[in-house]
Structures are given as structure tokens and as C-alpha cells.
Amino acid sequence: MNITQGKKRVKELREIIAYHNKKYYDDDAPEISDFEYDMLNNELKNLEKQFPELINKESNTQKVGGTVKKGFKEVTHEVPLLSLQDIFSFEEVYEFDKRIKKQAEEFGENTTYVVETKIDGLSASLKYIDGKFVQGATRGNGQVGEDVTNNLATVKTIPKELNEKINITVRGEVFIGKKEFEKMNEEIGYEDGNLFANARNAAAGSLRQLDSSVTEKRPLDIYIFNVQKIEGKEFNSHFEELEYLEKLGFNVNPVRIHCKNIDEVIEAIKKIGETRESLSFGIDGAVVKVDNLSLREELGETSKTPRWAVAYKYPPERKETILKDIVCQVGRTGAITPMAILEPVSVAGSTISKTTLHNEDFIKEKELKIGDTVVIQKAGDVIPEIVEVKKEKRTGNEKEFSMPQICPVCGAPTVREEGEAALRCTGIECPAKLVRNIIHFVSKEGMDIDGLGENLVEQFIEKGLIENIADLYTLTFEDIASLKKNGTKFAENLINAINDSKNRPFYKLITALGIRHIGAKTAKTIAKYFKNIDNLMNANASEIAELEDVGQIMAESIYEFFRGDQTIDLIKKLRDAGVNMEDEETNEIDLKFQGLTFVLTGSLDNYTREEAGNIIENLGGKVSSSVSKKTSYVLAGDDAGSKLTKAQNLGVTIITEKEFEEMIK
């Protein structure tokens, strides 16, 4: 690779790593495994080693990832919380020892080591004054972190008062244990078929909650592994520090092995790797640290990493098992996700019996068949995935799998639209997505039923009071009042809101039905043209596609929607309930703006932009967000900006609010 190629690849890697840094450190929502992330960083490190002129201070190899989340106060660390240099082979371990020994000889120091587990969690500092916990902070970018004192105070294994009245700042790793993580995932991790990606993600998200009462409900734990700063005490070795921390009452990393030489270090790394499944917490490596504290001081650190420690990263563990079956789950959005049912196998500390297969394309790409011998990979606590099929082990009894043509929950037809990976249920009354459909139906853009939120909808469903959207109109005063203490007034208001919604404009009903690709603007066009629900239901796709702003995909979506048995049933129930299904009678003056396009800019005195836009659309006009030669009028209010200037340059007619009011009389 020449310098030009290297420069291009380094730029690509920095952009990719910056994206995944944000997902990992700031959003607590990683999209790739730790191993994949490490490989990207390793490639960048090697390229910068090959082409030193490409190194700059913005490179991921030169700084610690992470920023301060909005809502938290900043904490400047008195001693930086540095990250560790990752290594991936025993050859690199020997190279580390060679470098340490060379410098140790210069300073006349000995070179023993301590090997510890690298806990997969979120790094934090704890500050104590006179033995009392006064401040806790996340690592952040190493120099500045987030003040999470109140959240850390809810962690049961963090002592609020030490066994000695001492001023000390320590560093530890906040994590969630394996069993606790699995239990939490079962209780609160499911949302549309998704789980918390890993224990680290769950721990970080829990610690960085703005509401400490949420953190308190999460099973957070911590292991302390370093003294950052201490007053009135001196130590000769790191191992001695750890023993003292334990006496103070801290929960110290339980896996710490003192090694006299590098061969013992290698054996310790191997031992940790062999026993990692039996650990109660997740790890993503083993940390090798120089034990001699005076030697550490002489070795120093870079802007990102200490020179006296490295992190050995274990390769992701892989195991073979049998793909016993493939079943499909329907999420709240209607997305149908295939799940692999596996012969239970222990991987990286937990028993795996099922995992997601993502979508139809994934199954085809891997050429999966029911009965196959497959290879499962689980790096750290990342949700396992099938990475390989052992085709040579096929017996001929394996079965092909096809995605269902009907929803496994409600029996409605399924559809996979062009350009989408997900297969979806088309049933509007599907129990799996009932909550989501009702919330959309009652929203402000839909039937605008004020006071009917998600929690209340879920209560109605749990108590069997509603089984479909139309059941909203059968709710009684007593049904609603029974859900709240002293709920009389609330029930009265909600009943009134439900009854009021029956008289909403026809386009509101079309919007509320949640037809894919159809928003309020298109719904208005459809309502004005077809006039009532019967005309719309009887229209063919070609006729619908002829409408302005309605494309072929939208037309086919509308047509297929009204062919569904569940849709026909729902429309009948809504009609019986008295819901309006007709557009208001229109006459010549109602459509005076037909064929005209308006752009709104600046502040109006008597209308919001939304209100003015609704008036224009109700009179047959179209509202655009940008000015062009095709624009008919620009309605300009106070403080109009660049749109007004562009209209003047293009010679577009500009009208004032007063002129607009004259036009709509």
C-alpha cells in the first residue's frame, strides 16, 4: 500500500471509528461487537505506524472516546482516566515486556506484573473526603466526565463511608453481572423483538440516566481497580494498593494475579481465558500492569494510554450447535423477525438457545436450513449470532425455510415492499401491533383524542376492554373511571373527547388508519377527490395514482390496505359507531386555490404557519417548503428571510397577510 492509498484508508477508518465511538460512548447503543471495533482500531494503528506522517491529534489512536451527555454537569478529573493499549497476541505481550525491561534497567527497578480481568462495563471515578463519598463521575473523554454522583449513590456495592477517614479518589468499572443482565433483559429489554445489545450497554445506559430513580432499579455493581489520588499514604506496589482498598471497604476486582515474570503473565492470561465462562461478570480481556509504582512513574504515559499497562483482548468465542427450528415473531410495528431455535450451547458464560436471524436476506445469505450444524459467536456479552453453516455436516434431512405469507399472530397477509429488508403484517387489528396502531389512531395527526396515552391503552387491553381500534367507541364511563382513583372527571373528559372524534374531517380518519406511506397531506388530497370511504374503498390503484402527489407505490399501498379483511371489518365497526366517513360538501369557491402553490415565510399576526397552510390546502392549494419558478405565491410575514429574497429574484408574486385574507374571503 502506498501513501495515497494509506491516506484514503486512514480517512475512511477514522470516520467509521468516530461513528461507532459515538454509538458506544455517547449513545450507549453499539452496532458492532467489541471484537469488530478492536479490529478497526488495530488496522488504523498499524497504518499510522506504517505512515507516521498521517498521525494527527484528532485520530482515535490519540484520544479517549466519549463526550459529556447533555443534562449532566461536567467534572474535570484531577488525574486523567486513560484508556489502555489493546494487544491481540502473546508476541505483543513479550514485546511489551521487552520494552518495560529495557527501561527498568535504566532506572534500576524490578519488573513484576499484576494481571487482572478487564471488566466489560463503564469506567468511573469515586471521590471521598474524610472517608465520605462526595462525588462520582464517568470517564468521558478522559479529562472531563459527567457528574453522576446521585446515580452512583444508588449502587449498593459503593460504600458511602470508608473504614478510615481519608481523602482518596479511586477508579472502578461499573457493570451488570451475567445473571442479573439476563434477568433484566427478560423483564425490560424487549421492544419490537430487540434486546439490550450487551451488559456494558445496559450498564452505561443505566448509569447515565438523568433520573437516579431509574438507575436505582437497575442491578448495577462495581469493581475498583486503581488508586487515582490519595493523601497521607504511600505504596510501593499496585498489588499492595488493591489490598488496602479492600480494607477500606471497596469492592475490589476479585481476579488479580501477581506474576514474577512474563511467562507467568502468559499463564495468567491463559488461565483467565479458560475460566472466563465461570465468572459471574462479563470480561473482554485481561489487563497486564507493571506492579512497581515508582517504575510506573518513570514510564509515564501518552495523551491517551499509560506506558505501564496493556489490555490483552481475547478472540470471540465460537461454538457449534444445531439449528432445530426457525420461528417468526411479530413486533409492535408489524415487522416479522425470524428467530433461530438452537440446541442449547454454552458460549462466553451463558447458555444460548435462540438468537435473531434478522430478516429473510440474512437467511438466504447464510444459506440456512432447519437441521443445519451452525457456528455461534458471542464476543463478550454481545447477543450471539450465527456466523457460519457447516455444510459439510449436512445429512440430506435438512429443510428449507420460507418467510410466512400470512402473519403468524393474526393471519393477515404479509408484505415485503421494494427497498425494505423487513417482512410486515398488513393486518390493522393484529394483536401484536395493536397498541402501536391505537396510539397512532388517537394521535393529534389522527383522530385527536386528547388524554388517551399509551399507558391507558395498555390498561384497556390488559383488562380486555378493547381488542381493536373500533372498541374505543364502545368504552363506557364506568370502564374509564375504574382505572383511576377519583377518576370521575377524567372519565367524563375522555368520553367527550372520544365522542368529539366521531365528527373529525374525513381526511383525519384516512390519516388515523395508518396506511403505509400516507400522511396527513396526502390524506387531504384523497379525501377531497373521493369524497367518502365507499368511493375510496372501491377505487383501483390506477385511479388513485392519478391524483396529484400520489405515486404508484402509495396508490398500491392504499389499494391493498382496503382489500384486507381486517380493514373491511374495522371500517364497518367504525361506521356503526358513528364515525364520520365523508368529506364536507365542496363548491366552486372551496377549491379556489386548486393548481396553486404557496410558500410561507416569516411570522404572521393572525395565523400560525400550520393554520395558514391548512387554509390553503382546504381551498385546494398546495404548500411547499422551497421557492422555485413554479411557486404561485409567497406569503411573507414579519422577519421573512432568504425565501423572500429568492422570490424577489425569481419574480414570484409576493403577498402580505392582509392580501391573503382578502383572497380567502
Three-state SS for 430-488 is: CHHHHHHHHHHHHCCCCCCCCCCCHHHHHHHHHCCCCCCHHHHHHCCHHHHHCCCCCCH
Sequence-ordered strand ranges (E) for 348-384:
350-356, 373-378
Sequence-ordered strand ranges (E) for 95-178:
113-119, 122-129, 132-138, 144-146, 168-175
**From 118, 127, 508, 643, active-site residue:** 118
521 classed as catalytic: no
Superfamily of segment(s) 3-62: Helix hairpin bin (1.10.287.610)
Residues of the chain with CATH 2.40.50.140: 317-393
pLDDT band, very low/low/confident/very high, at 518 (cuts 50, 70, 90): confident
Task: Please compute the mean of the pLDDT values over residues 342-347 and round it to a whole number.
Answer: 87
Superfamily of segment(s) 317-393: Nucleic acid-binding proteins (2.40.50.140)
Per-residue model confidence (pLDDT) at position 66: 52
Helix pair 434-442, 454-462: axis angle to 10 deg: 130
Residues of the chain with CATH 3.30.470.30: 74-312
Task: Please compute the mean of the pLDDT values over residues 505-514 and round it to a whole number.
Answer: 93
Entry pTM: 0.51
- Whose CA is closest to 612, among 548, 549, 657, 662? 657
Task: Please compute the mean of the pLDDT values over residues 179-187 and round it to a whole number.
Answer: 78
What CATH number has the domain spanning 427-580?
A: 1.10.150.20
What CATH number has the domain spanning 74-312?
A: 3.30.470.30
Least confident of 152-166, 173-187, 404-418, 645-659: 173-187
Tell whether the model's pLDDT for residue 295 goes beyond 90: yes
Q: Which residue has the higher pLDDT, 103 or 246?
A: 246
Q: Which residue has the higher pLDDT, 362 or 43?
A: 362
Using DSSP bridges, classify how beta strands 385-389 and 373-378 pair: parallel, antiparallel or unpaired.
Answer: antiparallel
Helix pair 34-50, 3-21: axis angle to 10 deg: 150
CB–CB of 446/440 below 8 Å? yes
Per-residue model confidence (pLDDT) at position 27: 61
pLDDT band, very low/low/confident/very high, at 350 (cuts 50, 70, 90): low
Helix pair 520-530, 609-618: axis angle to 10 deg: 20
Cell numbers representing residue 572 in the block? 364497518
Tell whether the model's pLDDT for residue 381 goes beyond 50: no
Q: What percent of the chain has pLDDT over 70?
A: 91
pLDDT band, very low/low/confident/very high, at 509 (cuts 50, 70, 90): very high
Tell whether the model's pLDDT for residue 482 goes beyond 70: yes
User: What pLDDT digit, counting tens, does each position of 563-574 carry?
Assistant: 999 999 999 999
Tell whether the model's pLDDT for residue 335 goes beyond 50: yes
Tell whether the model's pLDDT for residue 5 goes beyond 50: yes
Task: Please compute the mean of the pLDDT values over residues 624-650 and round it to a whole number.
Answer: 88
Cell numbers representing residue 57 in the block? 491529534
Tell whether the model's pLDDT for residue 653 goes beyond 90: yes
Q: Which residue has 423483538 as its cell numbers? A: 193
Q: Which residue has the higher pLDDT, 166 or 60?
A: 166
Residues of the chain with CATH 1.10.150.20: 427-580
Tell whether the model's pLDDT for residue 598 goes beyond 80: yes
Domain at 588-664, CATH from 3.40.50.10190, 3.40.50.300, 3.60.130.10, 1.20.1260.10: 3.40.50.10190
Least confident of 91-100, 227-236, 285-294, 442-451: 442-451
Cell numbers representing residue 209 in the block? 440516566
Per-residue model confidence (pLDDT) at position 348: 65
